[in-house]
Each structure stands twice: as C-alpha cells, then as structure tokens.
Amino acid sequence: MTVLPTFSDVVAASARIKGRAQRTPVLRSRYLNALSGVELFFKAENFQRVGAFKFRGATNAILALPEDVRQKGIIAFSSGNHAQAIACAAREAGVPAVIVMPEDAPAVKLAATRGYGAEVVTYDRYSQDREEIAARLLAERGGTLLPSFNHPDIIAGQGTAALELMEETGPLDALFVPVGGGGLASGCALVAHEVVPDCAVIGVEPAAGDDARQSMAAGHIVKIATPRTIADGAQTTSVGDITFALMQRYVRDIVTVDDAALAATMRLLAERMKIIVEPTGCLAPAAALAAAPQWQGRRVGVLLSGGNIDITRFAQLVG
C-alpha cells in the first residue's frame, strides 16, 4: 500500500530542517506586475543552499532516518540538484553518499556534487537506466536509497517551500510549480490544499516532456522517452506513484512551456530582477506570465526552483 505524506509531515519537516535549510526570500517585481496585470510572488529557491529547493527534501529525508540506518550511507540518482542536495546534507550528517548522475549533467552540478564529498557514478541518460544502476549499487554496498522525488520524506521536505511562501504572503489565488518527477509540485499542492484550499495549483512541464500532463489526462502514470529539453531538472520519464496520487488529488492543472519561452524568461528575470535562474527554474514563471490573462488582478505564487547553471551556458541561452 502506498503511504502518502500528510500536512503534519510537512510541518514536522519544517521543524526538522530549521536552521539547516535557508528560509528563502519572496521576491516582487513592479515591472513584471505591471507587464502581466498580476500580483506575482516569487519564492526564490535559487537562493536555497546548493542553489535549489532539493536541499529541503534531502535534509529532511536523511535526518528522518534512524541514526544506525543513516550511518550505513545514502545512495541516490539525480540529474544534478538532488545530487548536490544529498551530497551536502549527507556531509553535514556525517554519512557517506554515492550519487548516480548522467554524464551530460551540467558541469557545475557534477563539480559541486563531488565538491560536497559524494562519490559520483555517471551513466548515459539516453541508453542506461539510472534506477537499475542505483539498485545494483544498493545491493553491492548496502545503505538507504533516497530517490529524487517519489519518497514521503522528500515530498514533505519540498512542501516546506510552499509553507514558507504562504506564511509570508497570506492567501494566494494560484501557485505555479515546476514538475519533473512531481516531488515539489505534490508537496506544495498538499500544503496549499490545507492552508489555502481555494488556491489553484498549476504544475508546469517542458513541452518536450509532458508525461505528468498525459498522466493526469489518462488517469494513470504514463511513461515517456527521456525528453530533450534545456530544462535538465525536468528530464524525467514519469512521475512516481506517490507524487501522482497527490497531484491527482490536489493539482488543478498541468501546463507546458517550450524551450524558447524558458530562455526568454531566464533573460527577463536576469534583466529585470537581477537574478540567475536555471531553465528548469523558469518553468513556473514562464507559465505564470503566459497565463496572466486568466489571473488579472489576482495574487499568484511562483516557485523559482533553482539557479544552478554554468555561466557560459547561461550566456549562450540568453544571448
């Protein structure tokens, strides 16, 4: 039986990670408000430790393990941000970590993961299965596997981002959240349902990888080929059973944006808000701006999920 996290789990996660994860700022832009006609609140997880929201879930999941289990080590697989988060959180907890990462992951993410002290095992994301590699490592070495999204403690940790946002902003009419595997979206939707039941939670995927949208429409999990998109943090092939169950209950809609819109939004946020947001982190703001006609005069939250991108690559995309 699938065990779903509850709002109380998010509250417990908030207490567990306090003093470890950053309480990231909520940013405003008069220019973007005027441009869109919407009152926008940007939860800036690009300023989170390791540069992404993933540190929340990784820290919560590791600290939630019994000490004797934790000391046997952590194994994870990730395209980058979860990798860095697990590596950093494991180092702080004093436990070893092995991370399975695609060989074409951004160099800055590979370097940071190794820099936090984790062992990195690379693979070809288009021809190899990262879950099979992680399972083999787990059988050989032991430890605990902490997946990047389909885990109750990971989801509860990610939900703390929305909890903080709504504590600061008060009621929101809508909340746009990026969707890869669904950990952030499902955790935030769980919080919104409890705190502001009328808030419409909108998940956002890259147009090239709309498995969550297809899954919601079909009523069951749809798996796709690894999508080719600049949103490397959302190059997942399917959502998880836990995240999907929560999204079915609490996410109102899934929309998509293409790579051109992501690059344009990266440039817009850099020029007008003076912040660097990675392509995946631009999923929510790109969609919120595109949907502005539907939300005129309303209060809309936007999750900026991360800012980890090589500066040369950033310049190429926004140039």
183: Cβ–Cβ under 8 A, 6 or more apart, which residues?
A: 57, 148, 149, 150, 151, 154, 155, 158, 240, 243
* Residues 100 and 79 sit within 8 Å (Cβ to Cβ): no
User: What is the distance, to the nearest Å, from the Cα of residue 80 to the centroid of all Cα atoms in its chain?
Assistant: 11
Catalytic: 103?
no
* Residues 73 and 142 sit within 8 Å (Cβ to Cβ): yes
Catalytic one of 43, 54, 143, 180 = 54
Residue 1 is predicted with a pLDDT of 66
Please report which confidence band the pLDDT of residue 199 belongs to, taking 50, 70 and 90 as the band edges. very high
- What pLDDT, in 10s, does the model give residues 71-125? 999 999 987 789 999 999 999 999 999 999 999 887 888 888 999 999 999 999 8
Catalytic one of 164, 305, 306, 307 = 305
Catalytic one of 45, 211, 232, 278 = 211
- Residue 144 or residue 105, greater confidence: 144
Catalytic: 198?
no
**Is 63 a residue whose pLDDT tops 80?**
yes
Catalytic: 173?
no
Catalytic: 205?
yes
Residue 17 is predicted with a pLDDT of 98
- What pLDDT, in 10s, does the model give residues 208-261? 999 999 999 999 999 999 899 999 889 999 999 999 999 999 999 999 999 999
**Is 37 a residue whose pLDDT tops 90?**
yes
Catalytic: 274?
no
Structural domains of the chain in order of their starting residue, each with its CATH number: 7-53+151-318 (3.40.50.1100), 55-145 (3.40.50.1100)
Residue 80 is predicted with a pLDDT of 77
Percent of the chain with pLDDT over 70: 100
Catalytic one of 209, 240, 301, 306 = 209
Q: How many helices (H) and strands (E) does the chain have?
A: 14, 10
Catalytic one of 79, 148, 186, 215 = 79
Beta bridge pairs of residue 98: 75, 119
Residue 178 is predicted with a pLDDT of 98
Residue 109 is predicted with a pLDDT of 83
Residue 131 is predicted with a pLDDT of 87
Pick from 94, 113, 95, 93: nearest CA to 103: 113
Q: What is the mean pLDDT of residues 156-166?
A: 98
**CA separation for the pair 152, 162 (Å, rounded):** 16
Catalytic: 186?
no
Catalytic one of 153, 205, 210, 232 = 205
